[in-house]
Structure 1
């Protein structure tokens, strides 16, 4: 049972135009193909007890992509390009992730999920990459995913899953800056931007800046790795 956090945005279907929880189907398709059962986790009021009760029913967790993390969480004022904060989602995902780490529940962070992990561990973010690298190579806009090469650190869990070099699907204008506690960088692009991190001291704690759900052939191995770790977790807890 793999929990996936969801968006909470204004959405339209038929005559209805309302705030709604949703998640692109490619995410849970990737979980299903890897042998997992996808459980969607919409943002809602949360405390430690709620987060713990949710995780009692899960064997793994995915923190998905979406809008920018509130800069107030890492002590900065918002850049003009930074999204309006989704504080309910930030709080929900932070609580789930913190509880997952405490109990050793396997987790995977995707894009925003990697950034949220870094912030939850006390790190900071680059709020607008074009200001730093001088290009929009990671965010082409209009829903078009950019393709970028990343170099993976040999010997890392990520390397064991996907190899040492990988072409990935990018759609982000922010990235990890100062690294959070316990995190190790396990992939970068050729301009030095952090593309993946792993959390030390947990059975499976991997987060990538790209969108593996968009590449069923290459990045399926990330989801397979999570599901395998989730099976091991379930057996240990039985």
Structure 2
């Protein structure tokens, strides 16, 4: 099988390194390291605005990860911002939706991580709960700062996600929003407090969103599953 190229969408933020302090396209190294560890080659995808850019990129990829990051613009699901919704990035929203459109057109394998799952749901016509603590009464899903919360998740038997990670697992998460509705996707994992933790599309195509951060864990079963699907895609397209 060919070594698959896995696209990873990136942040575009003010950043400091060495003598520099300027706008930069960046992503935590854990994403690329997890792709490499499972047999893929990571390719970073900063937001692009040219007409046809998403289609050109997807034509060269074998798999796609929509990465974590800032809140999705609530205008995309026709709601006013919650008081705790802030810092959305219209450039990322537009870029990632365009990539998902192009990926759907070609059957490209896709994994959405945290924000990525939310972008997938909103693109499909769904909506988000903008502040999870309002619903569950605790902040375990995002304890603050740069810390990850630890949440126990139960998966739905017989699903793709369950086959990759088992019937239950503890996950690392960092989110204050969650998916409320998700047209075209099945809900396939939940936290004990009822928060939706994973969704997947029906059929043979790998198209999965998870609310947690699989790239941070020693068990990268989801990323391994994506890379395997990407390798098959590369050999059969």
Matches within 5 A, 1:94-109: 94-109=97-112
Q: Name the structure 2 match of 1:156.
A: 159
Q: Name the structure 1 match of 2:11.
A: 7
How far apart, in 1, do the equivalents of 2:149 and 2:111 lie? Answer: 21
Q: Name the structure 1 match of 2:136.
A: 133
Give the one of 204, 215, 218 matched to 2:217.
215
How far apart, in 2, do the equivalents of 1:192 and 1:46 lie? Answer: 40
How far apart, in 2, do the equivalents of 1:202 and 1:16 lie? Answer: 46
Give 3-state SS (helix, strand or coil) of 2:181's partner: coil
Once the two structures are TM-superposed, the CA of residue 85 in structure 1 deviates from its matched residue by: 2.1
Q: TM-score, normalised by structure 2?
A: 0.96
Are the counterparts in 2 of residues 149 and 165 from structure 1 also a CA contact under 8 Å? yes
- Please list every run of 5 or more consecutive structure 2 residues that lacks an aligned counterpart in the other structure: none
- Please list every run of 5 or more consecutive structure 1 residues that lacks an aligned counterpart in the other structure: none
Give the one of 42, 50, 56 matched to 2:59.
56
Q: Does 1:142 align with 2:145?
A: yes
Matches within 5 A, 1:1-238: 1-47=5-51, 49-179=52-182, 181-201=183-203, 203-216=205-218, 218=219, 220-237=220-237
Give 3-state SS (helix, strand or coil) of 1:118's partner: helix
How far apart, in 1, do the equivalents of 2:50 and 2:233 lie? Answer: 24
Give 3-state SS (helix, strand or coil) of 1:81's partner: coil
How far apart, in 2, do the equivalents of 1:141 and 1:191 lie? Answer: 19
Give 3-state SS (helix, strand or coil) of 1:232's partner: helix
Once the two structures are TM-superposed, the CA of residue 201 in structure 1 deviates from its matched residue by: 3.8
How far apart, in 2, do the equivalents of 1:210 and 1:194 lie? Answer: 10
How far apart, in 2, do the equivalents of 1:236 and 1:211 lie? Answer: 29
Are the counterparts in 2 of residues 46 and 91 from structure 1 also a CA contact under 8 Å? no
Which stretch of the first structure deviates more once superposed, 201-210 or 53-62? 201-210
